[in-house]
Amino acid sequence: MSLIQRHIILPFLAPLLFFAVAATPVEVLGCRTRGLLAFAIALVSVLAGLAAAIMAIKGRLRGDSHTHWWIGSALILAIPAVSMLILA
């Protein structure tokens, strides 16, 4: 698995799934189910983003040259949480 797949495409699935749930009509899932799904996706995304940020900090302390990939992953994974705050 390449770095782009691991740090850009895979984390981008969380915002994609979040916006797919948010764009689903209320008649399909219902208000409460949509909200709980969106909240769960945002929560998992934030936890994964924190893990990516911790990996970036550890890599930076070790002098790893690939820490910018972890920072990018953390920023991408923060999109659902920020969107949840804006949309709610």
Q: Which two tokens stand for residue 43?
A: 């929560």
Residues 61/64/65/67 CA torsion (nearest 10 deg): -60
Report pTM: 0.89
Predicted local confidence at residue 4, as pLDDT = 85
Question: Residues 31-60: what's their mean pLDDT?
Answer: 95
Residue 65 has pLDDT above 90, yes or no: no
Predicted local confidence at residue 40, as pLDDT = 96
In which band, very low, low, confident or very high, does the pLDDT at 77 lie, cut at 50, 70 and 90? very high
In which band, very low, low, confident or very high, does the pLDDT at 87 lie, cut at 50, 70 and 90? confident
